[in-house]
Chain A
Amino acid sequence: MKITVDALGLSCPEPVLKLKKVIGGAKDIELLVDSRSCVENCTRFAESKGFAVSVSGGRGQYVMTLKKK
Chain B
Amino acid sequence: MDMRNLKKFTACGGCVAKLPQGMLKDVLTKIPKFDDPNLLVGFDTSDDGAVYKLTDDIAIINTLDFFPSMVNDPYLFGLIAATNALSDVYAMGGSVVSALNIVCFPEDEDPAILGEILRGGAEKVLEAGGVLCGGHSINDEEPKYGLSVTGVVHPDKIMRNNNCSVGDKIILTKPLGVGIITTAYKAGEATEESYARAIRGMQRLNKYAVEIAKNYRIHSVTDVTGFGFLGHLNEMVTPEYSISVKTSNILYIEEAERLAAEDIITGGGVKNRKFLQDKVSLRGLTTPMEEILFDPQTSGGLLISVHPDDAEELLAALGDQDPPCCIVGEVVQRGEANIIVTQ
- Which A residues fall within an 8 A CB radius of B? 10-14, 16-17, 20, 35, 37-38, 40-41, 44-45, 48
Q: A10-B11, A13-B187, A14-B11 are in contact. Are A35 and B267 (CB under 8 A)?
A: yes
A-B contact pairs, 22 of them (CB 8 A): A11-B10, A11-B11, A11-B266, A12-B183, A12-B265, A12-B269, A13-B183, A13-B187, A13-B264, A14-B11, A14-B187, A16-B265, A17-B264, A20-B262, A37-B270, A37-B271, A37-B274, A38-B267, A40-B270, A41-B265, A44-B263, A48-B263
Q: Mark B121-151, 1 if CB is under 8 A from A, else 0.
A: 0000000000000000000000000000000
Q: Which residues of A contact B269 (CB under 8 A)?
A: 12
Question: How distant is A29 from chain B, measured CB to nearest CB, in Å?
Answer: 15
* B110 at the A interface (CB under 8 A): no
Chain A binding site: helix, strand, loop or mixed by DSSP? helix
Are B11 and A41 closer than 8 Å at their CB atoms?
Answer: no
* B184 at the A interface (CB under 8 A): yes
Further 17 A-B residue pairs, CB within 8 A, beyond A11-B12, A16-B265, A41-B267: A11-B11, A11-B266, A12-B269, A13-B184, A13-B187, A13-B263, A13-B265, A16-B264, A17-B187, A37-B267, A37-B274, A38-B267, A40-B270, A40-B274, A41-B263, A44-B263, A45-B263
Question: How distant is A8 from chain B, measured CB to nearest CB, in Å?
Answer: 13
Q: Which residues of A contact B57 (CB under 8 A)?
A: none
Question: How distant is B23 from chain A, measured CB to nearest CB, in Å?
Answer: 11
Q: Which residues of B contact A35 (CB under 8 A)?
A: 267
* Cα A38 to Cα B271 with chains together (Å): 10
Q: Which residues of B contact A37 (CB under 8 A)?
A: 267-268, 270-271, 274
**Contact residues of B between 193 and 211, Cβ < 8 Å to A:** none
Q: Which residues of B contact A10 (CB under 8 A)?
A: 11
**Contact residues of B between 16 and 49, Cβ < 8 Å to A:** none
* B189 at the A interface (CB under 8 A): yes
Q: Which residues of B contact A41 (CB under 8 A)?
A: 263, 265, 267, 270
Q: A35-B267, A37-B271 are in contact. Are A12 and B262 (CB under 8 A)?
A: no
* Cα A16 to Cα B284 with chains together (Å): 26
Question: How distant is A54 from chain B, measured CB to nearest CB, in Å?
Answer: 19
Name which residue of chain B comes closest to A49, CB basis. B263
* Cα A13 to Cα B184 with chains together (Å): 8
* Cα A35 to Cα B262 with chains together (Å): 20
Are B189 and A12 closer than 8 Å at their CB atoms?
Answer: no
Q: A17-B189, A45-B263 are in contact. Are A12 and B10 (CB under 8 A)?
A: no
Are A12 and B187 closer than 8 Å at their CB atoms?
Answer: no
Most buried by B among A10, A13, A17, A48: A13
Q: Which residues of B contact A13 (CB under 8 A)?
A: 183-184, 187, 263-266
Q: Which residues of A contact B10 (CB under 8 A)?
A: 11
Closest 5 CB pairs of A and B: A12-B267, A37-B270, A37-B267, A45-B263, A11-B12
